[in-house]
Chains A and B, each alone.
Chain A
Amino acid sequence: MKEKKYLVGIIAGGSFLVAAVTAQEQTPSHLQELLELGMHPGHAYVDEGRELFNTMKGPNGKTCASCHGEDGSKNLEGAYARMPRYYTDIGKVADLDLRILSCMTQYMGFDPKDKKFRKEFDKWSGKYRVPLATFVASLSNGMEINVQIDDPQEEEMYKKGEKLWFMRVGARDFSCGICHSVLAGKRIRLQGLPDPVKAKVYTHWPAYRFGNDRMWTMEDRVRSCFRAYFLFEKKWNEKSDWVKKPPPYSDWVIALELYMKHAANGGVIEVPGLLR
């Protein structure tokens, strides 16, 4: 009898452990609840993006849906899973943000030199880029990331990204890699350091970050990371010589995105993410 009790105890304890371990790997229960209740704040961006996608007309009268079908049904499902990639029509390796900008300027008639338009597009809280990117990314939900590197330009970009990932530079001697590869799992203050290369965290981007109540695309994420580097032109000076961010849609940003997303190949896309 006693032995039986032990046995039951061991089995119960064991199954509890297994349950605990699997639960940790899945979406935390409170987030799952938010999703089920339809209260994920990122979904507002998806809805806004869908609305824009179908109805917003460019100066020449075209909408996104004119080429991609309503809700992107014609050719956009799974497109985000293969980005960044080389696009022949713009002759560049582009990420999601640059691809959307190029579509708007090349096919919808927006003037790339129109400062007002560019400002609105680049802005974090602007009405075009972030909602559209979130919506387009969500069309690849449930699919595996599948970034291929077969064009020579993609190859060059990948190498650039890998080099930049490990490059120690700036007045703080940082690199992406020292924190996010070598020291991954440790904590900066209370923030855990994820390993985007091994852990395939790219599956959750674009993500809504409740730390500042905003949707972030990977462009925003990578560019903001460089603020921590304390980059300078002549000699470090917080007030007069601080090169805070690389320019938007620049090769540096896209190269890092390509490097990280290629490493996340096989991960199942689940956007918008909900992060700190």
Chain B
Amino acid sequence: MKKTVIYGASFTAFILIACQPTAQKAAVSEKKEEEKKIQVKKEKKKNLAERFKIALANQDKWQKACSNPDQIVPKGIDVETFRKEMMATVKFPEGGVIGKDIKRGEKLFGDPDKGGRSRRGNCYACHCGDPRILACGNIGPSLRGYAKRGIDPKDTYIRIYNSWAIVPCSVMPRLGYHGVLTPEEIADIVAYMHDPESPLNK
């Protein structure tokens, strides 16, 4: 009886001693994280003007080339070189340009349950596609029946990843280049567009 008490007591003591540093560590790291959060908030608030200035200065050399009243590649810049440089930025996903998750592709393209909305791909802002989505733009060509046009899925992938590799200075955002969409996400959109069962192609 006595022995068990002693064992028990020493065991609890051991646990208490052993756990103290980790508990302290946890408290310290929590504090640090909170401090970090506060700092991020402060920085955000600190200087909106400074942040906006930096954001504008982030303009890349290709964007700069397109920043003229015609919004096309200006004279003096070779269009073919422009295309090649853009093509060199395209990264392909490991599993190939046709993804597996067609449903995710549809959601990224424009969620039919939300009237075709999607902040990520947002394709319906400029393109029509699924006939159920009436609120579609006409800036880009309609994508109805896209899979029947005999377009190589790899070209579709490149167009979405970096549209400027095909049409420099196009209004279509370079979604993969800027990381608005990941290569895997783009592959899923490609899968959705090329699937014969997709509402786009029916």
Which residues of A does B touch, CB under 8 Å? 163, 166-175, 177-179, 181-183, 186-190, 230-233, 235-238, 240, 243, 245-247, 250, 252
Residue B180 lies at the interface, judged by CB distance under 8 Å to chain A? yes
Residues of A within 8 A of B68 (CB): 166
Whole-angstrom distance from the CB of B86 to the nearest CB of chain A? Answer: 11
Whole-angstrom distance from the CB of A177 to the nearest CB of chain B? Answer: 6
Which residues of B does A touch, CB under 8 Å? 40, 48-49, 51-52, 54-56, 58-59, 63-64, 66-71, 119, 124-126, 134-139, 164, 169, 171, 173-174, 178-180
Instruction: Indicate which residue in B55, B64, B66 contacts A231 across the interface (CB closer than 8 Å).
Output: B55
Supply 21 A–B pairs (Cβ within 8 Å), ascending by A.
A166-B69, A168-B66, A172-B178, A173-B66, A173-B173, A173-B178, A174-B171, A186-B139, A188-B125, A188-B137, A189-B125, A233-B54, A233-B55, A236-B178, A236-B179, A243-B52, A243-B54, A243-B55, A246-B48, A246-B49, A252-B52
Whole-angstrom distance from the CB of A59 to the nearest CB of chain B? Answer: 26
Residues of B within 8 A of A175 (CB): 66-67, 71
Cα distance, A57 to B130, chains bound together (Å): 57
The answer to whether B67 and A171 have CB atoms under 8 Å apart is: no
Cα distance, A47 to B137, chains bound together (Å): 38
Whole-angstrom distance from the CB of B196 to the nearest CB of chain A? Answer: 27
Residues of B within 8 A of A243 (CB): 48, 51-52, 54-55
| Given known A-B contacts A168-B59, A168-B169, A172-B178, A181 and B119 have beta carbons under 8 A apart | no
Residues of A within 8 A of B138 (CB): 186-187
Residues of B within 8 A of A188 (CB): 125-126, 137, 139
Residues of A within 8 A of B56 (CB): 167, 169, 231, 252
Instruction: Indicate which residue in B55, B164, B179 contacts A170 across the interface (CB closer than 8 Å).
Output: B55
Residues of A within 8 A of B180 (CB): 171-172, 230, 236
Residues of B within 8 A of A231 (CB): 52, 55-56, 58
Known: A163-B67, A169-B58, A246-B48. 9 other contacts (CB 8 A): A168-B67, A170-B58, A171-B180, A173-B66, A173-B164, A187-B138, A231-B58, A243-B54, A245-B48
Whole-angstrom distance from the CB of A254 to the nearest CB of chain B? Answer: 13
Whole-angstrom distance from the CB of B53 to the nearest CB of chain A? Answer: 9
Whole-angstrom distance from the CB of A122 to the nearest CB of chain B? Answer: 11
Residues of A within 8 A of B70 (CB): 182
Cα distance, A232 to B179, chains bound together (Å): 11
Identify the interface centre among B55, B58, B67, B134: most chain A CB within 10 Å of its CB: B55
Cα distance, A230 to B56, chains bound together (Å): 11
The answer to whether A250 and B52 have CB atoms under 8 Å apart is: yes
The answer to whether B139 and A167 have CB atoms under 8 Å apart is: no
The answer to whether B67 and A247 have CB atoms under 8 Å apart is: no
Cα distance, A186 to B140, chains bound together (Å): 10
The answer to whether A168 and B137 have CB atoms under 8 Å apart is: no
Residues of A within 8 A of B119 (CB): 238
Q: Which residue of A lies closest to B136 (CB)?
A: A189
Cα distance, A187 to B68, chains bound together (Å): 22
Residues of B within 8 A of A170 (CB): 55, 58
Residues of A within 8 A of B135 (CB): 189-190
Cα distance, A243 to B67, chains bound together (Å): 20
The answer to whether B137 and A189 have CB atoms under 8 Å apart is: yes
The answer to whether B58 and A232 have CB atoms under 8 Å apart is: yes
Cα distance, A41 to B126, chains bound together (Å): 31
The answer to whether B124 and A189 have CB atoms under 8 Å apart is: yes
Whole-angstrom distance from the CB of A231 to the nearest CB of chain B? Answer: 4
Residues of A within 8 A of B137 (CB): 186-189
Q: Which residue of B lies closest to A190 (CB)?
A: B135
Residues of B within 8 A of A181 (CB): 69, 71
Residues of A within 8 A of B139 (CB): 179, 183, 186-188
Whole-angstrom distance from the CB of A219 to the nearest CB of chain B? Answer: 14
Cα distance, A79 to B180, chains bound together (Å): 44
Residues of B within 8 A of A250 (CB): 49, 52
Q: Which residue of B lies closest to A179 (CB)?
A: B171
Cα distance, A188 to B139, chains bound together (Å): 7
